[in-house]
Each structure stands twice: as C-alpha cells, then as structure tokens.
Copies of this chain bind each other. A is one copy, B any other.
Amino acid sequence: MMDVGVYRLPMAGPDDVSELAALIEAGEVNPHEICAIIAQTEGDGYARGYSALSFQLLLAEKLAMTREEVWDRIPMLMIGLTGGLMSPHYTVFTRREIDAPAAAEKRLSIGIKDTRVLLPEEYGTVVQVKEVAKAVRAAMAEAGISSPADVHCVEVKCPNLTAKRIADAEGRGQKVVSTNLAEAGSKSKGASALGVALALGEIREGDLSNEAICNNWGLYSKVASTSAGNEQVACRVVLLGNSLRAVSKFKIGSGIMQDTLDIAGAKDAFRAAGINIAAGISPKDRERIATVFINAGADATGYIRGRRTTMKSDFLAAYAGIFAKAVINAIVGSLIGDTMILASAGFEHQGPLGANLIAAIAKVD
C-alpha cells in the first residue's frame, strides 16, 4: 500500500531549506522517500533557480548523489513572485510502499511521470498534448487511481522555447509553434493542460487540433496547473488524487471558483478534503489542513462582477499576476485563517476562462 507524507514548511528566503534539513536530520523525513517538492518562492525568476539549486545541494548531500541525479529524480516546481499576505513556503511529498491492510476509504496518493524528451517543434502542439496525456495516464496507474473523478490536482512542468531551441529546430528544417517566446510558452502550458484534460476525459481527442491550443477556451481541465521552464526538456507530471491503494493519513479535494469572489467554490474543495468551513473554521480543522494549491487563472480581465478594476490599466499593470495571486491568497486565506497557501497564475486551458482552481489536502480526522 502507498503511504504519502505531506510536509508544508516555511522559508526565510529562496535559499532557505533549513526546515527540510532539520526534518531529515531528526529522522522525520527519509530523503530517499521524497518524490516531489512544490514551492512558493519570493523574489523574481532568479530566486526560483536559486531555490531549486538550494534544494538540489541539500538533497545531493543527503542522498549522496550528484545534483544532476537529484534533478532527474525529484520534480521541483518553483512558483515565484509573492505579494500581499502570501507566505513563502514549500510542500514536500514523500512516498513509500508499506505493508498495510487496505484502507476503508480512498486516501491521498501520488503519481509522478515524465514524458519523453520533446523536440522544440513539438512544444505547444497536439504532439505535446498526447505525450502529456500518456504521462498522466501512467501517473494515474502508478497512483492506483482508475477513475478520473479521483484525480484532484495535476501539476505539469513543461519546457519553454528558447532562442537556442528555435535555432535547433530550424537547423533541422522544422518550424516551431511561434518565434515569440512568450506566446510559445503560453502554448506549451496550454498543450500540457489539454493533455491532462484528454487523459481525464474532460475533452475528446476529436476536439483537438493545433489551432485549438490557446484559442478554443471551451476546452479545459478542472484540475490541471501547468508552468513552463527553460530548464525543462520533457514534461514532468505530478498527479495527486485519492485511491483505495493508499493508506496515507491525508485526503485531497478540489473545487472551482468561477471567479475570484466565488468562495463557495473554495468551500467545495475543503469539504471534499474533509474540512467543513461553511460557518468558519475551527482551530482543530485548521491544523488538519496539510497544504492548499490555487491556480488563479482569473481576474486579470479588468472586471470583476461588473466592477472595473485597474489590474490591466494601472502603472502597476506589469504586476497584475502578482496582484491576482495576492488577492486569491487573501480571500481563501481569510476563510481558513492561514495564508500559507500556494497561488500560481496560469490560465491556459486550466479551468474555464476567468476561473480559479483550488485543491486542498487535509489530514483525515
């Protein structure tokens, strides 16, 4: 049976991995069981790299591996740019097989798979969609999940186009999806999200085409959260759900906030994870919340429920994504009395346009 551990730990800075080091030294976390790290780092993009490097150095030492081997072994998703009440932290997932009687109910399970290395010309295309779908199905199998309804969060880290990769493709006579790097990155994220949707039956293969990617917003997954990085050459999939083959102490639930003010959607996710916050949260229940992930695809539209905002027009418009994350973090944080919540800001086929996806993991009562 699979036993999954969830450790949400604070960071004093992007390079601060001391809390994890302490847990390893205390014997509470076995470094060989660490299977994924998902972090909310402060600072800009360089701080993400700094953080990843810091984790690699720690784990290279603890696992007696090279940094490259750590990198290959453990997916690390660094989500940067914090604002407002967002509190820098990371969630470490551990996984081990143990002998145990089957659980009476489904429990938190995790599946981790990479696609094959993708060619630059495949980024943002149906090829990527299908490769991601394949990896998602494999991750489901690994997690012991057969029903898509039991999948509550699929994090995908996918490759970005770079000038070098464009040159490589063109050198082989191939065309990339766009030479505008921002647009290409968006399509890579969109293709990854559609890959999740395809694997989970949220869309049909017949709906797919290269044109539909980042264009037909009617196609989306309700549980995908994708980001792209220059350092990736394949797509890395971290799938979280509930399974009868797991005996973790945790359960995961998810919900959709139709817009940023839709707190009912947030309450759904907590309820599904076994936390009732309809009438406020008790200190005991707050303690049971293990981690919360929100993908804030919303509200950079310039309007919220008919009210104009200045997210797109103000002199701070360049930071609209940070404000979007700060705002959703604050709203959900006020519901549970804790703002150590991960907020990312993807939107490409990740939920209906303008919605936020939320997943909560809680300790079973």
> Is A218 at the interface (CB under 8 A from chain B)?
no
* A42-B10 contact given A49-B15, A53-B53, A331-B331, CB 8 Å threshold: no
> Is A24 at the interface (CB under 8 A from chain B)?
no
> Is A337 at the interface (CB under 8 A from chain B)?
yes
The complex places the Cα of A43 from the Cα of B340 at a distance, in Å, of 25
Which residues of chain B are within 8 angstroms of A337 by Cβ–Cβ distance? 261, 305
The complex places the Cα of A278 from the Cα of B339 at a distance, in Å, of 21
Interface size on A, residues (CB 8 A): 59
The complex places the Cα of A287 from the Cα of B264 at a distance, in Å, of 20
> Is A310 at the interface (CB under 8 A from chain B)?
yes
The complex places the Cα of A53 from the Cα of B56 at a distance, in Å, of 12
Chain A 305-345, CB within 8 Å of chain B: the 1/0 string?
Answer: 10111110111111100111011101101100111100000
> Is A74 at the interface (CB under 8 A from chain B)?
no
- Give A73 Cβ to nearest chain B Cβ, in Å: 19
Which residues of chain B are within 8 angstroms of A83 by Cβ–Cβ distance? 310-311, 314, 316, 323
Which residues of chain B are within 8 angstroms of A327 by Cβ–Cβ distance? 84-85, 326-327, 330
- A residues near B (Cβ < 8 Å) are 10, 12-15, 42-47, 49-50, 53-54, 57, 82-88, 260-261, 263-264, 278-280, 299, 304-305, 307-311, 313-319, 322-324, 326-328, 330-331, 333-334, 337-340
Given A85-B299, A317-B318, A318-B318, 17 more pairs with CB closer than 8 A: A14-B46, A15-B49, A15-B53, A42-B310, A42-B314, A44-B46, A44-B47, A47-B47, A47-B50, A49-B50, A83-B310, A85-B309, A87-B304, A260-B334, A305-B337, A309-B339, A323-B326
Pairs across A and B, CB under 8 Å, 28 listed: A15-B53, A43-B46, A43-B314, A46-B46, A46-B50, A49-B50, A53-B53, A53-B54, A82-B309, A83-B310, A84-B326, A85-B304, A85-B311, A86-B309, A86-B310, A87-B304, A88-B308, A261-B333, A261-B337, A264-B280, A279-B279, A304-B333, A319-B319, A323-B326, A326-B327, A328-B330, A330-B330, A334-B334
